[in-house]
Chain A
C-alpha cells in the first residue's frame, strides 16, 4: 500500500500570552492508503492537535504534512479551505450537526462547495443516507434524532464528498455501547467496502480493536510499539 499521509518532523507549540505550550515534538507518522488507524493516549497528550494538523484546520509550528502528494502546510488559507472540502471528511465527538438544518440538508451542506448539479447532489445525499441506514429520517432535524442517529448523519456528511481521508475525534465518545458499536461497524464498512482511509482518536480500547492498527501518543510523542494486526 502506498503512503497517503506523511507527517514529517512536526512540532506544534501553542502560545498562551508569552508562555509556550509545546504539544507535539518532532513527530513523524505515516498512514498508508486504505488504513484504519486508531490513536490512543492520555488526555492532553496531543491527539486532537495531531488530527487538527492532518485535517488542515491548524498549522504545524515546524515540519511538513504531505497528504496524497500535497504539502498542506504550504497552502494559503483559501486553498486550504478548498482542499479540506475535497479531501477530508470530519466526524466529531459531539456530531456538530447544524441544528436548523434537516438530516438531508446537513449531509448536502458540503456539496454546496462543489459544482455538482442538483440531481447529482440528491443522488449522493440519498445514497450515503441509505448506507448509514437513515433513509427514513431525511427530513428530521438533529434534535429529533438519537445520539447514534446524529452521528450516523455526521458520517454521511463526512463521506458524501468522497474524501481522501476520514478523520474522527472520539466519534463514539458520547455514545452508549450499542450505538458506539453501530458507529464502529459503519466505519469498518467504510474502510473495507469503500476503501476509505480512516484516522480515529479514541479512549475506548474496544473501539481501537476495530482498527487495523493502534498508535499511542504520550506527551506529544508517538510510542514505537505500533501493534499492527
Chain B
C-alpha cells in the first residue's frame, strides 16, 4: 500500500534549494527552543550542584533565600548538641553557620555594577562542600581581612584577582585565593570568615543559615520534627540542602522557560508557514504525478502519507541541524542576575536526553501542522482533473 520512501527522499533532493531553506527555517526555531530548555536546565543543574544530597540547611521560615534569613548563634549551638549530627574525631559536629550578604562591585570593561554574594563561613564549611577547592593562592586566615573568590566572578569583575583589593563594608580586603567550585553557585561567591562579616555588618549574632551533615540521612525526619517541636527553634525551617537550592532555581528556570517558550512558539508559526508553503508548492508541482499514482491504484491514504512523510522529514532534518547547533552552546557559559536573590550567578547551557526528546517532539508537531493541509489537498485531488492538469 505504500509509496517507497526513496520517492520522498529524491523529491526533497530534487528541489534541494527549497528543502534547504525550509530546513534552515525550522532548524533556527528548533535551535531557540532547545537553547531555552538548555539554559533553564543549566540554571537548575547549577543550583542543584550547589547543594549536597547529605547536607541539611536551616533557615528562617518563609525566607526563600539565605539573604533574607537569620538564625541566632545560640540556636546554632543548641542544634549542634543534637546527637543526630555527624561528628569528627574531636567530637565536633560537621556544621557551618554562614552569614550571607551582598556587595556591589564594578564589572570588567563596563560601567555596570553587579551584586555579588559574600559568604562568611565557619570551620566545617570545606568538609561540607567538597565541590569547592582552591586553585590559586591560599585560603583566608580567620580574623584577617582576607577573602577567597569564586573562579566564575574572578573572570567578570574588576580587581577580583590574586592580591587585588576589594571594598566590603567600610574596609579594604585582600584577595588571597581563588577557588574552583565547578558548576555550582559557590563559583559566583566571595568567601571569608563569618565572624568578621558579622562584625563588619553589625549583625551581632545573627547568622543567615546553618548547614550541617547528619550521621545518617535516614534521621532527617527525626531531626526535622525535633527542631519543629523545640520552642527555642520554632521559627526555623529544616530542608535538605539540595532541595533548598532546587527550589531557589525554580523561579529563574521557570522564568527563562516561560519567556523563551512564548518566543519560540511565535517563531514556530513562521517556520510552520514556511514548511506549509513549501509543501503546497510541492503538491502543485506534482499534480499530474499524484493523478498518475491514484490511477495506478494507490489510495488517497498513500498520497496523504507520502506528503506527510516529506513534511516530517523536513522537520526532523531541521530538528537534527538545530540540535547540533544548540549543542555547541554547551561550550558557552554566561553570567546573569539570579532572580531569586538578585545577585550574579554564572551558569551554562546544558543538554539532556529529555531536551533532545522534547525538541524532536516539537519538530514533529511543526511538521504535522505544516504538512497536514498540503497533504490533505494532495489526497483530495480528483484523478481526472489532476491528470488533465499536465496536458
In B258-303, the 8 Å CB interface with A consists of 288-289, 291-300
In B332-391, the 8 Å CB interface with A consists of 383-384, 387, 390-391
In B6-20, the 8 Å CB interface with A consists of 6-7, 10-11, 13-14
Are A101 and B7 neighbours in the complex by a CB distance under 8 Å? Answer: yes
Are B7 and A113 neighbours in the complex by a CB distance under 8 Å? Answer: no
Residue picked from B11, B294, B299, B390, most chain A C-beta under 10 Å: B299
Are A109 and B11 neighbours in the complex by a CB distance under 8 Å? Answer: no
Q: Does B2 contact A (CB under 8 A)?
A: yes
In A63-88, the 8 Å CB interface with B consists of 77-78, 81-86
User: How many residues of B are counted as interface, with CB atoms below 8 angstroms from the partner's CB atoms?
Assistant: 27
One of B10, B294, B300, B391 near A57 (C-beta < 8 A): B294
Which A residues are in CB contact (< 8 Å) with B383?
57-58
Q: Does A100 contact B (CB under 8 A)?
A: yes
One of A83, A94, A105, A113 near B296 (C-beta < 8 A): A113
Residues 145-188 of chain A, each 1 if its beta carbon lies under 8 Å from chain B, else 0: 00000000000010000000000000000000000000000000
Total A-B pairs in contact (CB under 8 Å)?
73
Are B297 and A98 neighbours in the complex by a CB distance under 8 Å? Answer: no
Are A98 and B384 neighbours in the complex by a CB distance under 8 Å? Answer: no
Q: A96-B390, A112-B4 known; A84 and B297 CB under 8 Å?
A: yes
Which B residues are in CB contact (< 8 Å) with A57?
294-295, 383-384, 387
Are B297 and A110 neighbours in the complex by a CB distance under 8 Å? Answer: yes
Residue ID in chain A nearest B2 by CB atoms: A112
CA distance A92 to B294 in the complex (A): 14
Residue picked from A84, A98, A101, most chain B C-beta under 10 Å: A98
Residues 1-39 of chain B, each 1 if its beta carbon lies under 8 Å from chain A, else 0: 111101100110110000000000000000000000000
How far is the CB of A140 from the nearest CB of chain B, in Å? 14
Interface of chain A, main secondary structure? helix
Which B residues are in CB contact (< 8 Å) with A55?
295
Are B296 and A84 neighbours in the complex by a CB distance under 8 Å? Answer: yes
Q: Does A8 contact B (CB under 8 A)?
A: no
Residues 98-122 of chain A, each 1 if its beta carbon lies under 8 Å from chain B, else 0: 1111000100011011000000000
How far is the CB of A38 from the nearest CB of chain B, in Å? 20
Are B289 and A98 neighbours in the complex by a CB distance under 8 Å? Answer: yes
CA distance A85 to B391 in the complex (A): 23
Q: Does A36 contact B (CB under 8 A)?
A: no
How far is the CB of A47 from the nearest CB of chain B, in Å? 13
Are A113 and B11 neighbours in the complex by a CB distance under 8 Å? Answer: no
Which A residues are in CB contact (< 8 Å) with B384?
52, 57-58
In A120-156, the 8 Å CB interface with B consists of none
How far is the CB of A157 from the nearest CB of chain B, in Å? 8
How far is the CB of A27 from the nearest CB of chain B, in Å? 17
Residue picked from B3, B288, B383, B390, most chain A C-beta under 10 Å: B383
Which B residues are in CB contact (< 8 Å) with A112?
1-4
Q: A81-B298, A105-B6 known; A100 and B14 CB under 8 Å?
A: yes
CA distance A229 to B204 in the complex (A): 122
Are A100 and B296 neighbours in the complex by a CB distance under 8 Å? Answer: no
Are A100 and B10 neighbours in the complex by a CB distance under 8 Å? Answer: yes
Q: A96-B292, A98-B292, A101-B10 known; A81 and B299 CB under 8 Å?
A: yes
Which B residues are in CB contact (< 8 Å) with A109?
3-4, 293, 296
Are B11 and A94 neighbours in the complex by a CB distance under 8 Å? Answer: no
Are B296 and A110 neighbours in the complex by a CB distance under 8 Å? Answer: yes
Residue ID in chain A nearest B384 by CB atoms: A58
Are B390 and A85 neighbours in the complex by a CB distance under 8 Å? Answer: no
Are B298 and A113 neighbours in the complex by a CB distance under 8 Å? Answer: yes
Which B residues are in CB contact (< 8 Å) with A90?
292, 295-296
CA distance A99 to B14 in the complex (A): 9
One of B4, B6, B10, B294 near A81 (C-beta < 8 A): B294
CA distance A105 to B14 in the complex (A): 16
Which B residues are in CB contact (< 8 Å) with A81?
294, 297-299
How far is the CB of A166 from the nearest CB of chain B, in Å? 13
Are A98 and B294 neighbours in the complex by a CB distance under 8 Å? Answer: no
Which A residues are in CB contact (< 8 Å) with B1?
112-113
A-B contact pairs, 26 of them (CB 8 A): A57-B383, A57-B384, A58-B383, A77-B299, A78-B299, A82-B299, A84-B296, A85-B297, A85-B298, A90-B292, A94-B288, A94-B390, A94-B391, A96-B289, A99-B14, A99-B289, A100-B13, A100-B14, A101-B7, A101-B10, A105-B4, A109-B293, A110-B297, A113-B297, A113-B298, A157-B296
Which residues of B are in contact with A by a Cβ distance under 8 Å? 1-4, 6-7, 10-11, 13-14, 288-289, 291-300, 383-384, 387, 390-391
Which residues of A are in contact with B by a Cβ distance under 8 Å? 52, 55, 57-58, 77-78, 81-86, 90, 92-94, 96, 98-101, 105, 109-110, 112-113, 157
In the A-B complex, list the 5 residue pairs whose CB atoms are closest, starting with the nearest: A85-B297, A100-B10, A96-B292, A57-B383, A84-B297
Sample of 6 further A-B pairs with CB below 8 A, known A84-B295, A113-B296: A57-B294, A82-B297, A85-B296, A85-B297, A96-B387, A100-B11
